[in-house]
Amino acid sequence: MADLRIENSYPGERLGRPTTGPQSVARVGRRLAAIAIDWACAVIISMAFFSYDPMATLAVFAAVQIVFIPTIAGSPGHRLMGMRLTMLDGGWVGLWRPVVRTLLLVLVIPAVIWDPDQRGLHDKAVGTILVRS
C-alpha cells in the first residue's frame, strides 16, 4: 500500500511559505530570543513596580503581548528579532486573537506543541502564523 503522507522539506511548505527570508516561518532560535526579550522586560517592570511578584510578572508579560500584537504585529521581542504575527492569509490579527493566543501562551503547553510547520497550538487555535518580516 502506498504511503499517502506528504513530507515537508521545510516548515511552511504546506502553507505556501518561502523557505527563507520575508514571509517564511520564523524558526526556533528567533522565537526563543523574542520570548526571552519579552520576559526580561516583564521582569524589569515587575521588579520596578511590583517587588518582583511572579503573578505581576506574568500579567505584565501577557499585557505586552495583548497590546502590541494588534498594534505593531508582534510583541517587542518579535519585532526586535525580525518577526511579525499575521493571519495565515496575511491579514490583520484583530483584537480577540491576541487575547486568546496569549492566554494559551501563558499556559506554556500549547506553545511548545508544534505541527510540522512549526506553528504552536496557540497559533493554530487562532489561525495565526509567526513569520519573518
pLDDT tens digits, one per residue of 28-82: 999 999 999 999 999 999 999 999 999 999 999 999 999 999 999 999 999 999 9
pTM: 0.90
Q: How far apart are CA 113 and CA 115, in angstroms?
A: 7
Cα Rg for the chain, rounded, in angstroms? 16
Number of helices (H) and strands (E) in the chain: give both, helices first.
6, 2
C-alpha cell of residue 15:
502553507
Residue 120 DSSP SS3:
strand
DSSP letter at 5?
Answer: P
C-alpha cell of residue 107:
499556559
pLDDT at 8: 76
